[in-house]
Amino acid sequence: MLATMLAITPGTPLADVKDGPHPFHGQHIDWEPCLDQDELAEIGPTEGDPDWQARLECGSVTVPVDHGDPEGEVLELALIRQPAQGASRGSLVFDFGGPGISGTDTFLAGALPLGRGVRENFDLVSFDPRGVGDSGGFTCRGHADLDALLARIRGIDPHDLPERALEKLERVAHAFTTGCVDAVGEDFLFNMGTVNVARDLDLVRDALGDERLDYVGYSYGTSIGALYAEMYPERSGALVLDGAVSIDDDLITDTVEQTAGLQTSWEAFVAYCLDSAPECPFTGMDSASEELATLLDGLDTEPLRVDGRDLDRYALLDLLRGSLHTEQLWPGAALLLAGLADDERDGFVTDYLSSLRGDDADAPPGADEAAHIAVRCADHPRPTDIGDYLQGAREAEAASPLFGGTEVWRMLPCATWPDTEATPTGISAPMAPPILVVGTLGDPATPYRWARELTEQLGSATLLTYEGGGHTAYGAGRACVDNAVEIYLLGGGLPGEDTTCPSVL
């Protein structure tokens, strides 16, 4: 059984409130420095732009939890701004995806690698969407139990899972759902879907003083942007949707296709390794997965010690998966695997692994996961029978034996998730101005065909294709992509139909 979705036809209005303008329009944002002098001194200069953090300004906008009940509970959305370095023509708003990624944390982490024209002409703005970070972020009791159970069954073929394991999965996933309800309540979860993030975004646009929204959405942020174009075409400006997600698929189909995309990215990495990497441990495309399995078996026998923690096969797989998301890390990943194949256990191998692991100790455990699952459960039709998730895990395992069906099981809390607002489908935004969709052939998280599908679905969209790998393409040192996107943002028009940019590797 699937949760209900709301099909919309072109031009169907999705009202914020029952009648009249939104009562939350007309807000004034009180901007103030995000960091004081002591904090700036501790951080030090930012690579690429030493004064980036010193110029950052923070503020907030008030939104109703339920846009249909503006007199009810409210939420403060955290905003962050990097003022234009020239005469500002308005704001360029960024969402970095997830769902569950904090825009304020992303800005605070360092300068965005954008072209001079964009930095001079736009106030760069981001925000924490509802339920994320400083905008009511939350954790769910039971997340640690769910993670632990998924770790225990990882590597077990879904066909071989015993009945008692399935029963425990159901119990633990339901406990996670109950923990989320206890943390924020059913009313908050009811309104966590992207349809309400789009409504929030229009209040942000209004508070910024912009007649139209200029926007860059990465990954899940493409869903926000596409829905905004559908709901508010007359308020839409330049919209860049980079790394398109599937809007209409059910939850399991969506996750299985993501796993297949991850496999495609792995194969693209192997091709790069064999053709271009200075060192590569693989002897051919067909043998690469088996040769990687041999390296992983060695870690099971003797885990690596990195920063005081053991690194086993699955920890390495997770780091490799993360490297697939960033094409610039592919040369280092190839050298790492070559070193492991040569049985190196110190020097570059451990230093590189340490840099990949980073330090996420400041992040509340489970916070990203709570928002991620809450939005996914709200946005997609969700089966309620564990048998559907079992079948999905089997399909994911078949699509990628290397990475398996873990991500399908991670969505199991959605089987008992409380009701959410109906999510619009059939989005086409026929009245919106020209939209630019960017797709990457080897994207490990949002398969390229989703970019093609979204381009076809949106009546005014043009597709720009990056022929390399990594998750999303704009603002990552790919001059061809960056130039095409920034010409569009600055009013120079869309690239030609079927424009492609070659891989930088």
Where in the sequence numbering do the catalytic residues fall?
219, 443, 471
Dist. CA 238–CA 90, nearest whole Å: 12
Structural contact between residues 439 and 265, judged by C-beta atoms closer than 8 angstroms: no
Nearest 5°: phi and psi at 291?
A: -70, -35
Name the β-bridge partners of 29: none
Dist. CA 117–CA 484, nearest whole Å: 12
**Alpha-carbon torsion, ordered 336, 339, 344, 349, to 10 deg:** -20
Structural contact between residues 104 and 134, judged by C-beta atoms closer than 8 angstroms: yes
In the block, which residue shows the tokens 């999510």?
423
* Strand intervals (E) in 65-134: 74-82, 91-95, 123-127
CB-based contacts of 303: which residues, under 8 Å, 6+ apart? 310, 311, 312
What is the dihedral sign for C-alpha 228, 230, 232, 234?
positive
Q: What's the token pair of residue 493? A: 């028009």
Residue 220 φ/ψ region, left for φ over 0, alpha for ψ in the -120 to 50 degree band, beta for the rest: alpha
Side-chain half-sphere exposure of 433, counting CA atoms within 13 A: 16
Q: What's the token pair of residue 347? A: 């020097």
Dist. CA 296–CA 310, nearest whole Å: 13
Structural contact between residues 150 and 142, judged by C-beta atoms closer than 8 angstroms: no
Dist. CA 250–CA 5, nearest whole Å: 10
Nearest 5°: phi and psi at 213?
A: -90, 115
CA dist 172 → 169, 181, 413, 435 (Å)? 5, 14, 8, 42
